Structure 1
């Protein structure tokens, strides 16, 4: 019986040894490429800002309407500025040189679908418009507006004051939609 037991154990060891998993081949060295060393590319400084200037105070507004400001100036509340303002400089629509010259004072807020959600009043004794193709849109300017540039527009806006044109070209190219109004005079004043 000892012989049969020994034989049975021997047979089981052989059977188990034959069913054992073969050893895996040795792993090859990793072929992962080493990332190349790169020198960071400096971010170019833009010549002009392409976004709207969102303004909430007099200093920001005056900077935005200056000759070094932005093509669109958006107020986010009613503002009173107790000094004369000058909108000057030539800016392209969205600062794209392939587009027309354009300048906008946006006295309103809008939702994602471009529906006007709020209108604001900007009060100042005088606003002189020297930027061509400028417009006041969506709210009220309280004070007198002097236009020296061609193609000034009022779009869904009110001038609560007088609108003076300093030259024939400024007057003859002025446009106002049917939603806009001027409460005072509209005249040539050289």
Structure 2
């Protein structure tokens, strides 16, 4: 399956004799760039604001817990991407620390599910988790449907909220929301309203150490925990693969599972009758799952 996040046609001219046939065999997003600029809209982002079309599987302790210790273990570096409460939970004075790099539904994500739903995925109850604070050190962390009573401090990219249909209410922070850098806050402010949380207190920047992750090839375990196959570019990334090449053999290797997340051409490429197979799962420089085939020329 080939999922295209961004498709810019621009000045790209593809003749029948110069068609690259692309077969995607990995669970990731592919960007075909053919003009300058970018687009912030994303089907994967929209997906996060909707309830899953299939029943969510809460793995292990994340089937739903009433114990704060179990919830903390679930959000540890060796925990799971999705963790849930069975009802209201009072952990007053305690800190929930969210750490590690995880994939959920093919995207970088950590989900705090504070709700219940019926077989039609309608929200039947929204719960409250009471803590002193949540420290978010995992990218893609989001609060789903319920309320966090306490402060939330964000040190990683991709923080957002999720609110589904059903009983009245929305994802809420009954406290203050802080970001460790202005860039993190600016990225959050650019989100559509449907992906934001209701905040009863203040939203501000309190400078701290932003958690970052390197680009590279990755694999995900049963509960979404990420392991690097390699950091940066793989061994099949030959000279010119990321800066621009017209050599089909170089492109083919770089798009494989030991290649690079960003591959570029510097001229028309005639790969008539050949398949370029995109294999493997990769993180880009912003800790998002992505493969890009850039067929453009642009000014710096």
| 1:130-152 per-position Cα deviation (integer Å, ceiling 9, x unaligned) | 11011001100000000011110
Contact 1:50 1:70 in 2 (8 A): no
Following superposition, the deviation at residue 113 of structure 1 comes to 1.2
Name the CA shift for 1:134/1:178 in 2 (closer, same or farther; >3 Å): closer
Distance 2:74 2:86 in 1: 14
Residue-by-residue CA offset, 1:143-184 (whole Å, 9 max, x unaligned):
000001111002230100000001123212224527841000
Distance 2:100 2:150 in 1: 21
Shift in CA distance, 179/185, structure 1 to aligned 2, threshold 3 Å: closer
Q: What TM-score do the two structures reach when normalised by structure 2?
A: 0.44
- Which sections of structure 2, spanning at least 5 residues, go unmatched? 1-56, 164-170, 208-300
Q: TM-score by structure 1 length?
A: 0.68
Matches of 1:72 and 1:92, distance apart in 2? 9
Q: Are 2:78 and 1:68 equivalent residues in the alignment?
A: yes
Superposition map of 1:117-156 within 5 A: 117-156=124-163
Residue from 184, 189, 199 that aligns with 1:182: 199
For 1:158, the equivalent position in structure 2 comes to: 172
Structure number having the greater helix percentage: 1
Contact in 1 for aligned 2:58/2:82 (Cα 8 Å): no
**Whole-Å separation in 1 of the counterparts to 2:186 and 2:156:** 11
Q: 1:115 aligns with which of 101, 105, 122?
A: 122
User: 2:99 and 2:142 mapped to 1: Cα distance?
Assistant: 12
Aligned residue among 51, 54, 62 for 2:59? 51
Q: Distance in 2 between matches of 1:50 and 1:74?
A: 7
CA distance in 2, matches of 1:67, 1:173: 24
On the 8 A contact 1:88/1:129 being kept in 2, the answer is yes
Counterpart Cα distance in 2 of 1:50 and 1:80: 21
Greater relative contact order (CA < 8 Å, ≥ 6 in sequence): 2
In 1, Cα distance between the equivalents of 2:82 and 2:195?
22
Is the alpha carbon distance of 1:142 and 1:50 closer, same or farther for their aligned partners in structure 2, counting shifts above 3 Å? closer
Aligned residues: 138
SS at structure 1 position matched to 2:59? coil
Q: Work out whether residues 160 and 197 of structure 2, in 8 Å CA contact, stay in contact via their aligned partners in 1.
A: no
Structure 1, unaligned runs of 5 or more? 1-48
